[in-house]
Structure 1
Amino acid sequence: MKKSYLFLLMLLFAFLISCNGDDTMTSPETNVTAVQTGKITGKVMSQNGTKPIGGASVFVFDDKYKIYHTNSDASGNFTLEAPSGNQTIYIQTGNGSNFRTEISTSVKANETVSLDVTQTKLTQVAKIAYVKGNYDKIEDIIQTLGYTATEITHADLANITTLAQYDIVFLNCGSRKYAQTAALYPLIETNLAIFVANGGSIYASDWDVSYLVGGTDNTNNCSLAGGFVPDAKLCSKNIGSSGIVASTISNPALATAMGFNTLNIDYDLGSWQKIINYDANYWDVLVKDTSTNDPLMIRTNQFSATGLPTTTIGNAPNTAFTTVCITLPGNIQISVSVPTVAVPYLVALGATVGPCSGATNSGYIYYTTFHNHATGNIGNAGTILQYVILNL
């Protein structure tokens, strides 16, 4: 009787295998229909259509919030694999909070859609301000890209209500003019700390490092009074000499976006700021002196300080976008801004709210030891400064 029962079981097992067609279990995933995709091509351009933009994030989501992502090359060109159907294509620089564009298009399986350059212009979302300097005119570079910036004064920097209206502030070399407005500087430095700690970004060039670390019109020693960046994080002295400095772009993302990794920077005046020491865990070196490895251009989004008030900065109240960190295949992380309604779905897939690196709410601080004046002999440094503008 036992042998007959065993024989029947063997016949039943053989029948089940024959119905399957092979001797492996069928995974539910094998019944999932593969996503049909096509390709989208285009060229990312500045707002006025004059400047191709390298290093921009181009991405789209399918109906299950899987991201399809690529970057524009140094000439602004991109090819994006995208799920078929009606899609919204996102183009962004930085983490997408200050410059971004959305494009609605239809993607057909196994076909290529070419976007026109009128569609792929990068739109300014940020409110940008600058303080006029004696040597620099970053506002000219901003305008050559088709973007707008508002001139503000030391009195505006000293008024947190006014300062908080902006997302980005550019401090041109020679703008500090300490002798005329020294009484305002403790308040200005406190306000800049509040601004950055709450997500605002600033750029300072050459002598205007004194806004960051203290001193008068420039810095001639370490650990000077004033400033808001801790003295242990940065020291710069005005001991740099004039001449051409062979330089290397040490940040891979910047080098890829530029399409080159070496350049000559013309220090055409005496008494340039020279970075004496810096905290390598706090600052990311973007450009360095090829012969000495001295940093010439640095940035951080690590700023934090206790006791500073929480303040809404810039365009934040008017946006329905949130910055998130998404991990791509190969464990590559990207910071992008997405519609806030999509955030819960992306978090469920492993994304985290906020940028991928840096202090939780910190904006960026960029500092260059060299000038940014648009009409001066800055060569390829001008292209790098365009990158700075778009990635703050």
Structure 2
Amino acid sequence: MRKHYLFILLCVFTLLTNCSGGDDSLTTTTASTTAAAVKTGKLTGKVMSQNGTTPIGGASVFTFDDKYKIYYTTSDAEGKFTLDAPEGNHTIYIQTGNGTNFRTEISANVKDNETLNLDVSQTKLNQVAKIAYVKGTYDKIEDIITTLGYTATEITNNDLANLTTIAQYDIIFLNCGSRNNYSSNPALYTAIDANLATFVANGGSIYASDWDVAYLVGGTSNTNNCSLAGGFVPDTKLCSKNIGNVGMVGATVNNAGLTTALGFNTLNINYDLGAWQKIINYDPAYWEVLVKETSTSDALMIRTNHFTATGTPTTPIGTNTTFVTVCITLPGNIQISISVPQILVPYLVALGATVGSCSGSSTSGYIYYTTFHNHASGNIGNAGVILQYVILNL
């Protein structure tokens, strides 16, 4: 009986020893069957506007692998980028803003541990938005749009009073001095204010410069007091008075993305056309300050996509129907807003993306306001590069 007992102990010891060896073998097998590191290559290039000569800084460049993981980078101030991308045939997306208005898609065959240089003919940023502008007295944003190689249609204040007309556009530029004859036809501007509210609430974006802040907060061609009649942005959100002084103003870029796109964070802005609309106060939870006066920290350029309004009708705006804006979180808890084909949305949402921009109202378009503009004299210096950024990021 004792021999049987010893024999059993010997078997148990042998079994444990073999099991230990078995664990080592299992570990080795598991390691050998673990998925190999993803094979990647590099894509390099230079994002350009349609004119083929103006580099676009701050553009998003990205692609996805077959499991819908995003590979992402941005272009520098010279438009240059390097994207690590998974091996294989992929669609490469190039976008500015959240991709709703300017974007390009190209196909590329990425090879493991190789670099593919994309030609500038492939990386030109396409205009997918319909753009309109209202002619001004002191400002010609359309000149900058055209110089970049893009197109815009001139419309009038009478067109702004027709919702069907403006609903076909994605972006509307309001040039300084275009809101005139307010007192002679207040009903016209009442209709304009209501239509702009509907336009932005449903995803359209607008840009207003200097005196045309009146479209936002009310008044005529310029505003001398707060809480004036008209406009569509709540009076509690913004006040601007026509008290800015003529001269050179030192400015600081207050937004990291804009700084990357421009390649500088300080500049001088020449206010050379007389009194300009000085921002007196604003709601910092509503507006983001992109450029501020260095000495006073006064806001010189602001934007928001937080606009909401009760009672505005739900109206289809613009031409962008095949792409959807989503918010994706990158490593480091960095959030980016991009636009992707509708077919990708369910897969990205399953990985944690959310539909809509990362901030702001889910349906609101952007409102940009700058106290400066491209003066009739053309004397704007580095501010011109900022206005290029505004155009491409609305």
Change (3 A) 1:320 1:7: farther
The match for 2:285 is: 281
Alignment counterpart, residue 167 of structure 2, candidates 124, 141, 164: 164
Residue 348 (str. 1) matches residue 353 (str. 2)? no
**Deviation sequence 1:246-296 (CA, Å, 0-9, x none):** 000011110111000000000112221000000011100000110010000
Separation (CA, whole Å) in 1 of partners of 2:142 and 2:38: 46
Offset at 1:6? 5.9
In structure 1, C-alpha distance between the alignment counterparts of 2:250 and 2:212, rounded to whole Å: 23
Change in CA separation of 1:367 and 1:9 when aligned onto 2, cut-off 3 Å? farther
Q: Does 1:310 align with 2:314?
A: yes
Aligned to 1:52: 55
Instruction: Pick the aligned partner of 2:176 from 173, 192, 195.
Output: 173
Which residue number corresponds to residue 46 of structure 2?
43
Report the Cα offset of residue 375 of structure 1. 5.1
Q: Hey, what's the Cα distance between the residues in 2 that align with 1:23 and 1:105?
A: 40
Deviation of the 1:2 alpha carbon: 7.2
- Deviation, 1:372, is 2.3
Question: Is contact 2:138–2:376 with CA below 8 Å preserved after alignment?
Answer: no
User: 1:204 is matched with which residue?
Assistant: 208
Match of 1:267 among 271, 290, 294: 271
Which amino acid is the alignment partner of residue 384 of structure 1? I
Structure 2 residue aligned with 1:118: 121
The 8 Å contact of residues 92 and 105 in structure 2, kept in 1 or not, is answered as yes
Question: 1:107 corresponds to which residue?
Answer: 110
Separation of aligned partners in 1, 2:316 and 2:285 = 28
List per-residue Cα deviations over 1:335-389 (Å, max 9, x = no partner).
Answer: 0001110111111111111110001100000000112247511100000000000
Q: After TM superposition, give the deviation of residue 8 of structure 1 in Å.
A: 3.6
Give 2:370's aligned residue: 368
Task: Kindly name which structure, 1 or 2, has the bigger radius of gyration based on alpha carbons.
Answer: 2
- Separation (CA, whole Å) in 1 of partners of 2:28 and 2:242: 72
- Code of the aligned partner of 2:359: S
Q: Give the structure 1 partner of residue 187 of structure 2.
A: 183
Distance in 2 of aligned mates of 1:13 and 1:65? 45
Query: Could you tell me how far apart the structure 2 residues matched to 1:275 and 1:8 are?
Result: 88
Q: Which residue of 1 aligns with 2:15?
A: 12
Cα 1:301/1:30, change in 2 over 3 Å: farther
The C-alpha deviation readout for 1:68-111, integer Å capped at 9, x for no partner, is 00000000000000001111100000000100000101110000
Question: Number of paired residues?
Answer: 390
Instruction: Please report how far the alpha carbon of residue 3 of structure 1 lies from its aligned counterpart in structure 2 after TM superposition.
Output: 7.0
Is the 2:59–2:94 contact (alpha carbons within 8 Å) kept by the matching residues of 1? yes
3-state secondary structure, aligned to 2:103: strand
Say yes or no: does 1:192 pair with 2:199: no
Evaluate the alpha carbon distance shift between residue 109 and residue 3 of structure 1 in structure 2; reply closer, same or farther with a 3 A threshold.
same
Would you say 1:257 and 2:227 are equivalent positions?
Answer: no
Q: What is the CA–CA distance in structure 2 between the aligned matches of 1:352 and 1:27, rounded to whole Å?
A: 35
**1-side partners of 2:5 and 2:196: how far apart?**
86
CA contact (8 A) 1:374 1:382 kept: no
What corresponds to 1:390 in structure 2? 392
CA distance in 1, matches of 2:342, 2:183: 46
The aligned counterpart of 2:88 is 85
Q: Percent identity?
A: 73
In 1, are the aligned partners of 2:41 and 2:112 still within 8 Å (CA)? yes
Deviation string 1:36-78 (CA, Å, 9 cap, x unpaired) is 1000000000012121000000001000000000000000000
- 2:373–2:387: 8 Å Cα contact kept in structure 1? no
Paired residues of 1:241 and 1:269 also in contact (CA < 8 A): no
In the alignment, structure 1 residue 381 sits paired with structure 2 residue 348 = no
Amino acid at match of 2:342: T
- Name the structure 2 match of 1:75: 78
Distance 1:373 1:6 in 2: 96
Unaligned runs of 5+ in 2: none
Give the aligned residue type for 1:62.
D
Q: Cα offset for 1:306?
A: 1.1
User: Distance between the aligned counterparts of 2:27 and 2:306, measured in 1?
Assistant: 52
Once the two structures are TM-superposed, the CA of residue 34 in structure 1 deviates from its matched residue by 2.0
Structure 1: segments with no counterpart, 5+ residues: none
Q: 1:158-190, CA deviations, whole angstroms, 9 ceiling, x for partnerless residues?
A: 111001000000000000012454320111000
2:97 aligned to which of 94, 103, 113: 94
Q: Which moved more, 1:20-29 or 1:188-197?
A: 20-29
Structure 1 letter corresponding to 2:166:
L
1:192 and 1:9 map into 2 onto residues whose CA distance is 83
1:11 positional shift: 3.0
Q: Provide closer, same or farther for how the CA distance between residues 25 and 302 of structure 1 changes in structure 2, counting only shifts above 3 A.
A: farther
Letter of the structure 1 residue corresponding to residue 332 of structure 2: G
Question: How does the TM-score come out when normalised to structure 1?
Answer: 0.96
115, 138, 142: which one aligns with 1:139: 142
Describe the superposition over 1:217-247 as per-residue Cα deviations: whole angstroms up to 9, x where unpaired: 1111011111110111000000111000000
> Structure 1 residues 23 and 103, CA, compared in 2 at 3 Å: closer, same or farther?
closer
TM-score, normalising length: structure 2: 0.95
1:382 partner SS: helix
